[in-house]
A and B are shown apart, each in its own frame.
Chain A
Amino acid sequence: DGGITQSPKYLFRKEGQNVTLSCEQNLNHDAMYWYRQDPGQGLRLIYYSQIVNDFQKGDIAEGYSVSREKKESFPLTVTSAQKNPTAFYLCASSTWTQEAFFGQGTRLTVV
């Protein structure tokens, strides 16, 4: 079955540590995205990539980094520079003609 796989589902991080969230898709979509959701708020765009080896900052990119070395993969690193990293992180992918398809999310908690 085609889809988007995010791992892990739950992640705990100590303050000051970097952590990487995985996102893999087998839908053959060109574009991939990372969104963040906070309680009572909508999703906010962190980074997006419309083609391999290229990516752009979204609305809240500070404290995050990404790479897009393969079409199928778009990992997100939450760095120690991100002051409030506890949130629900959602990865999505899309084509140029269809709506975005989302993964099941990773809940990151700073302890």
Chain B
Amino acid sequence: DTEVTQTPKHLVMGMTNKKSLKCEQHMGHRAMYWYKQKAKKPPELMFVYSYEKLSINESVPSRFSPECPNSSLLNLHLHALQPEDSALYLCASSQEEGSSYNEQFFGPGTRLTVL
């Protein structure tokens, strides 16, 4: 099983809403990632979790709050977002963070629209 799943596929929310994005993998990977991708741009790294601990936060605003409940699950909690936060949010996983092989497997993404 080389699949990373993400829910929901699409999300529309107002600026005062609180919502969560979910990501799951059952490959036994110990590193999980959140990326943000705007149209026609490459993915931008937001957060990295390694062995369920936050290891990298790329200066992401606090209205984005990641959570790793266990080694298979990764959440991204959203609160008080701005319209410019509308984007495709991608989750990825790899065997370990920073390993020389470092293959990351991506989920299908959540298309987020903030009104």
Same complex for A and B? Answer no
**Chain A interface (Cβ within 8 Å of chain B)?**
none
